[in-house]
Each structure stands twice: as C-alpha cells, then as structure tokens.
Amino acid sequence: MENIALIESFSEFKDDKFIDRVTLMAILEDVFRSALKKKFGSDDNFDIIINPDKGDLEIWRNRIVVLDGEVEEPNEEISLTEARKIEPDFEVGEDVSEEVKLINLGRRAILALRQNLISKIHEHDNTTIYKHFKDLEGEIYTAEVHHIRHKAIILLDDEGNEIILPKDRQIPSDFFRKGDNVRGIIETVELKGTKPTIIMSRASPKFLEQLFFQEIPEVYDGLITVKKVVRIPGEKAKVAVDSYDDRIDPVGACVGMKGSRIHGIVRELGNENIDVINWTANPQLMVTRALSPARVTSVKLNDENMTAQVYLRPEEVSKAIGRGGHNIRLAGQLTGYEIDVFREGVEEDVELTEFRDEIDAWIIEEFKKIGLDTARSIIEQDVADLVKRTDLEEETVVEVVRILKEELED
C-alpha cells in the first residue's frame, strides 16, 4: 500500500465507538467508488476488497481483451498487446483483472478521497449520536459542566457528547461550577445541519416524574402510577399518584416516614415544595385534594366551561391560594378546572371584573395572577403583603382597596 496517509485514516476510524465493521466497510467502498467514477467515468467494472482491521484495501479493474486498434472504451476494454504485458497467454475475448494502485489516482485525488472519508465518518457518527439521544428523550441523564455561558450551560457526557442546559430550563436556584455533575432529562434532540443539538431540562414536570421512577421503588416496579405532575420550578409542585393495589398507600409510599423518601427529590430540585396527592376519577374530590393543604368545605363544578367554585372557611383561604398564588394555580393545572375561591358564610362579595370602569384591566389581572379575583379577597389582605405579591405600587394597592371598600359599604 503506497499511501500511508490513507492507511492512517483506516486505523483512525476502525476503532470508532459509533461504527461497526460492516458499516465502516460500506462507507469506505462508497468513498472509493466515488473517486473511481471521477477518475475513470464509471465504477461498474471495479472490484474493491477492503480489510479495515489492517487498514488495507485492493482495487481491481476488470476489462475485456480486444484486438489492437479496436479499443473503443478504455475503461472497459484492453488491447491484446497491453493484456499480454500483464499475462503473456491472454487471448481476445478474455477478462483481464488488473490491480489499480492508489498512487495512480493522483495526489490531489487521494487528498480529496481522505477528506471525503473523514466527512462521511463524521456524518455517520452524528446520525448515530442523534438516534441514540432521540431514544433517550424524556429520560434522566447525567453530564459534567464543561463551560458556563450567560444563557446556557454546556455539558459533556463520558463519551464527549455536548449537551446544552439553557437558562430557562434550569431551576432558578441552580448554581453549578465547572466539573459539577448535573442531572436532568433529555428534553429535545434535533439535527441542525449534520450536527445533533441535545437540550437538557431540569424545569420540566417530566424531570420530577422521572425522579419518582428513580427514587421510589414502588413507582419503578409499577405498583404506583404517577398520573400527573405540575410544577413551578424551584417553588412548588403537585404530583398525583394512584395504586391499583388497595393494600398500598400511594402517598405514604412516595413520601416515606417523616418525608424520608421524598427528601432526596426535594433536595435535587432546590428545596421545591412537593405535594403528593391521591389521584381520583371523582372531579369534585380531585379539586378538593388538589387544594391541599387547605381544607375545602364544598365544591360546585361547571363542566361546560370547566370552572370550579370552591367554598372554604375564611382562615383556609390563604392556604388555598398559597404564596404568590402558587397553590391555586397548580391545583387548576392538575385538575383542568379554573378554580374560584369563596369564603364560607360571606354572602356579599363582588367579582373584580365588575370594577373595570374604575380599575384598569391590567391591575385586575395582577390581582388575579395571585388568586384574588373578588373584592373581599383583596380587602381582607394586608396592603404590604399585596405589594410584595404583585408588581403594583403601594399607592395603587391603597387606591384599589379604597374603591372596593366603598362599593361593599354602599
């Protein structure tokens, strides 16, 4: 074999972790046939014998012997005189197999061939990586922090594959240094050009669901089913679980004695508050459970527009709404109902939307974001607390409270 660089190409790729012997041979043959077509116009009459283990190959050109002066297709025919230089006993009409030395292809052709080989191998590797990670979508994966950027963290796994953890897929309290191991789910895998882009997420509800599979043996074994997960990453989550075995308490099994089983999950998620709830097909009961830790007195559902009127004692309202309105928002996502909270025993109340002539719509929306959508639900709150929980100025909150009080007094 004359071309040392090409032999080095073989040895460089024959141990490639993503490529098997058969595939490597197919790629090599494809690359050489492309070079032969370019040189001779056709590769139909060539045999290529490849030994990737040794980094060696042979190329043989097959031609038919014709009389001198009757050669019309030089690539397919050879004159009797030329044939007898190879073997002196050749006759007209016989097939001649002649080895083609790579050096005869020319230096530029060999360099182009090597470049084409490298390109094909990388293209195959990228396709294999894409398929590998596409199969892992939705699964937990661990990789090491390689580079920290403003909008994303670049991770590398044990095989050197690059994984991106964007800022908006991180938990707000996440803080990583170079060399740290990071767990998340493979959220999306896309081929951009020939290179796969692998996105990891720690903020997805799927990540919390997969942590339950990893950390809770009964979930892993299928004795407990995770029916639905909703999250405000780093703040609060609600997980609905069910068991088809009446002997198993799904909530107790997931939480463990004094929270021992769920503690590792909470720690992984930056101390995210996790409510584990017994799933039920009864929508009224499901709404009641979803508003935990608040104790609900009664629930009225409107299945046509998917709304739920929930009545509670006044001291339970703040629990139902939760800090920043997180509890009621997640309860709505978990059940699929838009939940309105009413104080039991308080008859006179007015929806905030009734004050649109006096209060700007965007101000009403700010209160609704934290679960306050009636006059009394706002009046009964502390002004300073309302300022902290909304993006409103204190003067605005004071003015709103004044308007609402006047209406209720009238």
Residue 391 DSSP class: S
pLDDT above 90 covers a percentage of the chain that reads 41
Q: In whole angstroms, how far apart are CA 273 and each of 115, 262, 263, 270, 315? A: 55, 10, 10, 9, 21
Confidence of residue 327 (pLDDT cuts 50, 70, 90): very high
User: Domain 139-201 classified CATH 2.40.50.140?
Assistant: yes
Residue 100 DSSP class: P
State the CATH class of domain 204-279.
alpha beta
Confidence of residue 289 (pLDDT cuts 50, 70, 90): very high
Q: Cα–Cα distance between 169 and 41 in angstroms, integer?
A: 54
Within 10 angstroms of residue 211's Cβ, the number of other Cβ atoms is 23
pTM for the model: 0.62
Number of residues written out for the chain: 410
Q: Which runs of E-coded beta strand occur in 26-127?
A: 46-51, 56-66, 77-79, 95-99
Look at residue 2 and tell me whether its pLDDT is greater than 60: no
pLDDT value of position 82: 84
Helix axes 326-335, 283-290, angle to 10 degrees: 150
pLDDT value of position 58: 80
CB–CB of 288/299 below 8 Å? yes
pLDDT value of position 93: 86
Q: In whole angstroms, how far apart are CA 391 and each of 318, 352, 374, 388? A: 19, 17, 18, 7
Q: Cα–Cα distance between 97 and 90 in angstroms, integer?
A: 11
> Which residues lie closer than 8 Å to 46 by C-beta, 6 or more apart?
33, 36, 40, 59, 60, 61, 62, 100
Q: How confident is the model over 244-258, as pLDDT tens digits?
A: 888 899 999 999 888
Q: How confident is the model over 390-404, as pLDDT tens digits?
A: 878 999 999 999 888
Q: Cα–Cα distance between 53 and 55 in angstroms, integer?
A: 6
Look at residue 112 and tell me whether its pLDDT is greater than 80: no
Look at residue 106 and tell me whether its pLDDT is greater than 70: no
Q: Where are the domains of the chain?
A: 4-132, 139-201, 204-279
Residue 94 vs residue 348, higher pLDDT: 94
Look at residue 6 and tell me whether its pLDDT is greater than 60: no
User: Under CATH, domain 4-132 is a member of which superfamily?
Assistant: NusA, N-terminal domain (3.30.1480.10)
Q: How confident is the model over 13-38, as pLDDT tens digits?
A: 555 555 566 666 777 777 788 878 88
Strand, helix or coil for residue 104? helix
Return phi, psi of residue 72, to 5°.
-105, -35
Quickly tell me which residue has 């896309």 as its tokens: 190
